[in-house]
Amino acid sequence: MATQKKNNHKEKQPPILFGKTQNIIKRVNKLLGGTLVTYFNNPRGSVCHDDVLALFELLEKIGHQEKIYLFIKSSGGNGQASLRIVNLLRQYCKEVVAVIPLECASAATMITLGANEIQMGPMAYLTSVDTSLTHSLSPIDRDNDRVSVSLDELNRVVKLWQAQGSDKSENPYQQLFQHVHPLVIGAVDRAESLSIMLCKELLAYHIENEREAEEIAATLNSKYPSHGYPILIEEAKRIGLKVSHLSPEINTLLLELNELYSEMGQRATTDFDDTHAHGNEILNIWESTGVLVVYQQDKDWFYRTEERRWISLNDNSSWRRVAKVGNKVEKSILHIA
């Protein structure tokens, strides 16, 4: 049924604005006196382990550099992937400078911890990196999806219980276990320990004082009451990070670049009817001089009414490479498993 409907609908395709983005990167490189590498997630993309292989494609193309300026715009993802990304970057340059014009949250903030310096624009912000986890035993929301659980949320429930002077003979976890499975609580606690360890490993690339690194890691993991709390430039300095203002001219160019990436990463969903659709959305983007690597979603969606959720079918999503070879622009698919 979906196939028949697809024949009567032209599927939406996101644009690849390689020429325009390359022109801006060339201008930024000239102003910086170094090499710009860009990393962009659309709202439905995230930091993931496949990003490491995509970044490797870029770094092999541009070769070893004295200094790499890393533009990041992301709402987060996998913290362990952040460590791998920084480790790979460090093998291709002597110094990393993070240039942040906008959102750089959660696992993306972790990436900046591995940079020698962070340059932030007037709209830029980092966030805390306290870990939330979506476990196979997590509670279910009204849409029948598993919800994420954070250790900070669990600890606050227990503290409120104790602060309200509840019956001390009654264990608050007995009530909590009725809503959150004990294995989920154990997994979240372990994830929190992992998050602190990852932060310390990333800071160790440029901070030799272990105590200083531990204080920064602890602050980012436990100080803030909200996972999305915006850490602005002055707050970042107070934490102990090496932060400076991004120059207005470079900030303007990076915002132009972000606008082009946002156009590339626009929602590209073709609705055939109430229960059938097709997605062709670009989620993750890596780019540097002469090369662009994107992850493009390419799959059918079917709404299973009895389960109140969408399931994917015919998934042909893949990483795709656009590179300038001589005077030609060549396109290919990267087979990243």
Per-residue model confidence as pLDDT tens digits over 137-158: 667 766 666 666 666 666 666 6
Domain boundaries, the chain: 10-128+224-271+279-296+317-334, 132-189
pLDDT for 3: 46
Across all residues in the chain, what is the average pLDDT? 82
The domain 10-128+224-271+279-296+317-334 having CATH identifier 3.90.226: the answer here is: yes
Buried b (16+ CB within 10 A) or exposed e, 133-159: bebeebeeeeeeeeeebbbbebeebee
The DSSP 8-state label assigned to residue 308 in this structure reads T
pLDDT at 334: 81
Look up the pTM and report it.
Answer: 0.81
CB 114 within 8 A of CB 96: yes
**166-180 per-position pLDDT tens digit:** 566 667 666 667 777
When mean pLDDT is compared across 11-20, 110-119, 129-138, 312-321, the lowest value belongs to 129-138
pLDDT digits (tens, 9 = 90+) for 23-79: 999 999 999 988 999 999 998 888 989 999 999 989 998 999 999 999 999 988 888
pLDDT of residue 80: 86
Structure tokens at 297: 């979603």
Tokens 């107070």 identify what position?
238
pLDDT of residue 77: 85
- Residue 46 has a pLDDT of 87
Strands 269-271 and 276-279: antiparallel
Query: Using an 8 Å Cβ cutoff, are 216 and 240 in contact?
Result: yes
Residue 227: band (very low, low, confident or very high) from pLDDT cuts 50, 70, 90: confident
